[in-house]
A and B are shown apart, each in its own frame.
Chain A
Amino acid sequence: MELLFALVIGALTASGVYLLLRARTFPVIMGITLLSYGVNLFLFATGRLATGQQPVIGTSASYADPLPQALVLTAIVIGFAMTAFLVVLSLRNLADNENDHVDGQREETPPHRNKNGR
């Protein structure tokens, strides 16, 4: 389970970073979302992976660490709000610049250079 978990986090983070470096706002937002999934899973794993244990002392022989769960919850909420804000901001960018390029470039750039960003 540990290996699978680590691979999933690695894949999420890697694809998140890759998408972040794209030139359009939509992939960037997707990238940030994937990255924050990876981070949240990672945070969750900091309490060690275990099944069938309750985060309450005394209910079973060993117990799960409740703190990472609280941290993840906070991180998810914050990440959600930030992503929502970013979506609105990029819509605004699209409306203002009639273009969803992250640098707000207009179409006067040569077409072959624009292809790079796709």
Chain B
Amino acid sequence: MLVSAIVLLVLASDGSYRIYAFGNWQPPFGIVLVLDRLAALMLVLTAVLGLFCHIYASGGADKGNRQFHTLFLFQLTGLNIAFLTGDLFNLFVAFEVLLIASYGLLMHGGGTARTVPGLHYVTLNLVGSALFLIGIGIIYSVTGTLNMADLAVKIPQVTGNNLNLVKAGGMMLLVVFGLKAAILPLCFWLPKAYARATAPVAALFAVMTKVGIYAIVRVFPLIFGEGAGELANLGMDWLFPLALITLGMGVIGALGADSLKTLVAWQVIISVGTLLAPIALGSVAGLSAALFYLVSTTWTVAGLFLVSELVTSQRGLAGDSIVTAPKMRHRTFLSVLFLIGAVAAGGLPPLSGFFGKLMILQSVEPGVEMAWLWGVLLVGSFLTLIAYSRAGSIVFWWNVDGHQETPEPMNNRVSISTGILTCLTMLIVVLAGPISDYTRATAEQLHDNRGYINILQTPVHVPQSPLVEESN
């Protein structure tokens, strides 16, 4: 799947839109899959993450549940449909596919600790789905279409009372995507659920919040972008302060975390806030910076989840709580990985988190927003560093005497996948030039929605010569 995702990335990098129309219905009548730069980037991101999580999981975490691999692949399917679809209702279906798989994965391993957060997670997402349907219904009743390209054409033509209806529908979609992305008032389910899940699952979930962000980036600049007449930039003035507060909340949570996994789960929220702030400002540079940071932060956070699971397995009774414990085995290996992950997450040079944050900081134009963003982001990064150094020094350095009685052995699959995933952050630094070129091109492509609308005119291909290969 990684291979096909990379092929698609290369295909998409020429900047054109490729579509695959189910049943050969001419868009906007049928459901289409649309491949562009953004979709391809997200596919590669997911494929890499999925590969390493899967290797990790096959190293022992999948025991006790025969359905684990099925659910895992099911989840990847849902993610890929969500990234490729060009239809609002199909996006809903994709969300449901990935959610039902994620419910199963979250429960994997069982135990009382997982039932309650799982119950919250499922309930919240069901309500989110209901809201999503209402939003879709409102928009459909006004515009008579669900194809995203067609919506981008129809929305500017909406007038009169219908304007308020579409506004309500659009804001509802924003709430739903915000729930998936875990923006502030909707983020409290996340730390508990993620911290209790098994490591490869939590690591895969690192991309789940990014689905929400992807949906915002996909739907809002396209449908409610500059060209949307009176509905232009709907909701974006709400998103910016919320993103900053989310960032602040995440930092506070990270400082107060009592275990490594909770710390990393709050890091997910920090990165959501960091990503959405420049997206809400809507400039090309901001979007490009956010996409760069998105790649970096997803892999980093996933790597950190895996590292904390390994630490847990090596510390016996102490688990992953941030307390002093006897010296663990493989301490050097794990602490180096943790250091790399923490440096990348906190945004210190020379790793990729630093470049991502730097690009975000550079992208804002001087003004009130700049002052807020710089202030919150820089103080937030500093406090995150404090949280990580506190956790790292207590877990790795402050050892008490004595030995672990039953250190579980680490097998190669587990350690290699964790190591590579964490070290991907270095690869991002090495390839920073090409990646940022790519994200800039992506952001420009997103900003100019004419190309996307043009897929309406694309003639549907004859069945014998498919224009594009499917990804899975």
Query: Which residues of A pack against B, CB within 8 Å?
Result: 20, 25, 28, 32, 35-36, 39-40, 42-43, 45-48, 65, 67-68, 71, 74-75, 78-79, 81-83, 85-86, 89-90, 92-93, 96-97, 102-104
Contacts and interface: CB of A to CB of B under 8 A. Distances in A.
Which 8 A-B residue pairs are closest in the complex by CB-CB distance? A46-B141, A104-B116, A96-B112, A46-B137, A43-B137, A93-B115, A39-B130, A39-B133
A82 B122 contact: yes
Contact of A39 (B93, B122, B134, B144): B134
Contact of A92 (B115, B120, B133, B146): B115
Contacts of A32: 123, 126-127, 130
Given A39-B133, A82-B129, A97-B112, A67 B140 contact: yes
Contacts of A102: 116, 119-120, 123
Interface in B99-151: 100, 103, 107, 111-112, 115-116, 118-120, 122-123, 126-127, 129-130, 133-134, 136-138, 140-141, 144, 146
Interface of B: 89, 93, 96, 100, 103, 107, 111-112, 115-116, 118-120, 122-123, 126-127, 129-130, 133-134, 136-138, 140-141, 144, 146
5 contacts: A43-B137, A68-B140, A89-B119, A97-B116, A104-B112
Nearest to A104: B116
A36 B130 contact: yes
Contacts of B112: 96-97, 104
Q: Does more than half of chain B's interface fall in helix, strand or loop, or is it mixed?
A: helix
Contacts of A45: 137, 141
A43 B116 contact: no
A86 B126 contact: yes
Contact of B96 (A25, A35, A82, A103): A82
Nearest to A90: B119
Nearest to B118: A89
Nearest to A96: B112
A82 B126 contact: yes
A93 B123 contact: no
B123 A28 contact: yes
A20 B11 CA distance: 46
A93 B114 CA distance: 9
Nearest to A102: B119
Given A89-B119, A93-B119, A103-B116, A78 B137 contact: no
Contacts of A42: 133-134, 137
A25 B118 CA distance: 13
B89 A71 contact: yes
Contacts of A85: 100, 103, 122
B76 to A, nearest CB: 19
B116 to A, nearest CB: 4
B130 A35 contact: yes
Contacts of A71: 89, 136-137, 140
Contacts of A104: 112, 115-116, 119
Contacts of B122: 82, 85-86, 89
Nearest to A74: B93
Contacts of B144: 65
A83 B137 CA distance: 21
Nearest to B131: A39
Contacts of A86: 119, 122-123, 126
A96 B123 contact: no
A82 B132 CA distance: 15
A78 B141 CA distance: 21
A42 B140 CA distance: 11
Taking each of B120, B137, B140, which has the highest tally of chain A beta carbons within 10 Å of its own beta carbon? B137
B129 A78 contact: yes
A78 B123 contact: no
Nearest to B140: A46
Contacts of A25: 119
Contacts of A82: 96, 100, 122, 126, 129
A93 B110 CA distance: 11
Contacts of B116: 93, 97, 102-104
A97 B113 CA distance: 10
A45 B123 CA distance: 25
Contacts of B89: 71, 74
A35 B100 CA distance: 19
B130 A46 contact: no
Nearest to B133: A39
A49 B162 CA distance: 17
Contact of B133 (A47, A75, A83, A96): A75
Contacts of B107: 89
Nearest to A25: B119
B430 to A, nearest CB: 43
A86 B119 CA distance: 7
Given A65-B144, A67-B140, A97-B116, 11 more contacts: A32-B130, A39-B133, A39-B134, A40-B133, A75-B133, A82-B96, A82-B126, A86-B126, A89-B107, A92-B115, A93-B115
A4 to B, nearest CB: 18
Contacts of A93: 115-116, 119
A39 B92 CA distance: 14
A80 to B, nearest CB: 12
